Amino acid sequence: MKPAAIHAFFTTLRDANPQPQTELEYTSVFELLAAVLLSAQATDVGVNKATRRLFVVANTPQKILALGLDGLESYIKTIGLFRSKARHLLETCRILVELHGGEVPRTREALEALPGVGRKTANVVLNVAFGQPTMAVDTHIFRVSNRTGLAPGKTTLAVEQQLMKRVPPEFAVDSHHWLILHGRYVCLARKPQCHRCAVSAWCDFKPKTLA
């Protein structure tokens, strides 16, 4: 995909959705961090169902710690890998309280030092909470970037690096939301919905499914 096509690609996505948002539900930076940590290999819908119950009673690191492992697990047991996620979240809360005054840090280094927080999770928090132009490459962004020719790469890191180079600055902050939503609802894994794709004109996917 050539630079002119990339600009048109994102202009079209922006025009259709000027203020894209994450589909995870949260009301604070800590709730966002917790929700993203819990969302690994799980759907946003499933995470939201659990956190609606959890955040009513425990929406700070201190309150999560007060629940203890068994208490936390009882709220998130419907989420895949809930036992390991509960341990990671509790340990993350302990570190936030002991090292960061109960606040979520604003640096990649500090975020990635938290248990259960990898590069993708850190990118989401840095972008959504703090407005940094990061690229949280999940399966949807990886697929869309490769399929369309926007930012081909064999690994998520390679795709992220390509996106950081190729996405025009004016679209950088919101671009990962547009790509996630496009992959989730239009550029599907098994059969992309090319017949209703607003950006198909700039897509390099040759076997477009127009029917």
At residue 211, does pLDDT exceed 90? no
Print burial letters for 132-151: b (CB count within 10 Å at least 16), e (below 16): ebbbbbbebbbbbbbbbbbb
Mention every residue, 6+ apart, whose C-beta is less than 8 A from residue 108: 119, 122, 126
| Burial per residue of 187-202, b for 16 or more beta-carbon CB atoms within 10 angstroms, e otherwise | beeeebebeebebbeb
| Paired tokens of 180 | 């996630």
**Closest Cα partner for 178 from 146, 126, 136, 207?**
136
Residue 210 confidence class, pLDDT cut points 50, 70, 90: low
Compute the distance between CA of residue 9 and CA of residue 12 in angstroms, rounded to an integer: 5
Q: Comparing C-alpha atoms, which of 159, 115, 155 is closest to residue 135?
A: 159
- Residues of the chain with pLDDT > 90: what percent? 95
Mean pLDDT of 7-27: 96
3-state DSSP percent of the chain in helix, strand and coil, to 5 = 60, 0, 40
The pLDDT value recorded for residue 208 is 74
Mean pLDDT of 3-9: 96
Q: Which residues contact 33 (CB under 8 A, 6 or more apart)?
A: 92, 104, 117, 121, 125, 129
Is pLDDT at 60 greater than 70 in this prediction?
Answer: yes
41: left (phi over 0), alpha (psi -120 to 50) or beta: left
pLDDT in tens, 135-183: 999 999 999 999 999 999 999 999 999 999 999 999 999 999 999 999 9
pTM of the prediction?
0.90
pLDDT attached to residue 3: 93
Catalytic residues: 120, 138
Q: At what angle are helices 82-100 and 29-38 packed, to 10 degrees?
A: 150
Length of the chain: 211
